[in-house]
Structure 1
Amino acid sequence: MAGKEFTLKYEFEDVWKLAKDEEFHNSPEQEHFGVGWKIGIQKYDNCLSLTLCANVMENQEIHFEYTAKILSKNKEKIDLESGSGVSDGYGFPWWCATIDWKTSEYLSSGKLEVEFHVKITKMIGFLREWRKKNVNPEYLQCFLEGIYDEIGDHNVDGILPIADMSQTPLALKKCENYLIEKSKMKLKKKLELAGKYRLEELKKECMDQIRSKEDIRSVVPDNIDEMDPKILGELFQKTLALI
């Protein structure tokens, strides 16, 4: 898939139970190109409206083109609607498509399968906000590598500060999963990152691997003031248990 393009797909359940003008029912958020995206549905008058929303910060905009697909219950017929939109920091969803509420051919036991193919055409305010905060250019490069390529030991500690500062929880989670499942970093470094960026699952994984006095010594920095106070407290408890 070339350029800034991706596909969102979700199957909504109990669609028949939607009430008129009820709040949007949204799919779980998925991260693409450093931004969280979700599909929403809402009953409006005698129609079912489909929306697309990007989780961006104030003073940021994402311009995009989309094609919406609604699959029928036999998976053979699809309803297509294409267009373009803008998602900004005000958080309003972009209305993309509607279908007649009385149409039943799309529903299977109250379920509706929706798919969006999205092409980002412009991203405004992302690099500017980072530059205002004097972001290390090497960290910014690492963050972009993490979005467009893969996270690795060579860039994960550069991605984390940008993800933390830009409040991108999906990017933080992606880094945390990598550190738990694949990273070859030393335990001391992983524990440092867990404390600095509040990665609770990574912290638990690291603490579970500390079973002896030697393990404790191996993770304590030369300057103890640099260690996260909560982690230091847990290490102290482990030390007492080993006495």
Structure 2
Amino acid sequence: MRKYKISDDTVSEILKLADFFDAKVVVRRCEEFLMNTSKESLKFKFPLAIKNKLAELKKKCFSEMTKSTNFKDLIPDDSTDFDTEVWKEFFSKAISFI
């Protein structure tokens, strides 16, 4: 059996397919990749965490937000991409630096 590696270039597409096929193991491997190996920025990882309900990655993203984080870059174009709880967490984190 051939093994394919997850990369920063493929992870978002793999997550889409994993969701479509309800492949929980693949989703978990993508989350592990994003948390431990990926060189992508918070701007890339945070929306993936929210969209794909990656709880551990979301937690890590929130913990990596600092006073110098550009919170405007993390706000989605469509406000419904974040549910109420995510908005609460997001604004709480943002105002904690004021």
Same fold (TM over 0.5): yes
**Per the alignment, in what secondary structure is the counterpart of residue 96 of structure 2?**
helix
Cα deviation code 1:11-62 (max 9, x no counterpart): xxxxxxxxxxxxxxxxxxxxxxxxxxxxxxxxxxxxxxxxxxxxxxxxxxxx
Cα deviation code 1:146-171 (max 9, x no counterpart): x7310001111110011112111110
Higher helix share: 2
Matches within 5 A, 1:6-155: 148-155=3-10
Output the aligned Cα RMSD.
1.9
Residues in 1 aligned to 2:69 and 2:27: alpha-carbon distance in whole angstroms: 30
- In structure 1, the gaps of 5 or more residues are 5-146
Residues in 2 aligned to 1:165 and 1:188: alpha-carbon distance in whole angstroms: 24
Q: Give the aligned partner of residue 16 of structure 2.
A: 161
Q: Give the aligned partner of residue 96 of structure 2.
A: 241
Q: Give the aligned partner of residue 192 of structure 1.
A: 47
**Per the alignment, in what secondary structure is the counterpart of residue 242 of structure 1?**
coil
Q: Give the aligned partner of residue 79 of structure 2.
A: 225
Tell me the number of residue pairs that the alignment of Structure 1 and Structure 2 aligns. 97
Cα deviation code 1:95-115 (max 9, x no counterpart): xxxxxxxxxxxxxxxxxxxxx
Residues in 2 aligned to 1:178 and 1:214: alpha-carbon distance in whole angstroms: 22
Task: Pick from 50, 62, 72 the counterpart of residue 207 of structure 1.
Answer: 62
Higher strand share: 1
Do the aligned partners of 2:12 and 2:48 also contact (CA within 8 Å) in 1? yes
Q: For the structure 1 residues 226 and 188, does the alpha-carbon distance in structure 2 shift closer, same or farther, using more than 3 Å as the test?
A: farther
Q: Give the aligned partner of residue 120 of structure 1.
A: none
- Larger RCO (CA under 8 A, 6+ residues apart): 2
- In structure 2, the gaps of 5 or more residues are none
Same amino acid, percent of matched pairs: 30
Residues in 2 aligned to 1:224 and 1:149: alpha-carbon distance in whole angstroms: 33
Do the aligned partners of 1:213 and 1:239 also contact (CA within 8 Å) in 2? no
Partner amino acid, structure 2, of 1:210: M
Query: Residue 242 of structure 1: CA displacement?
Result: 2.7
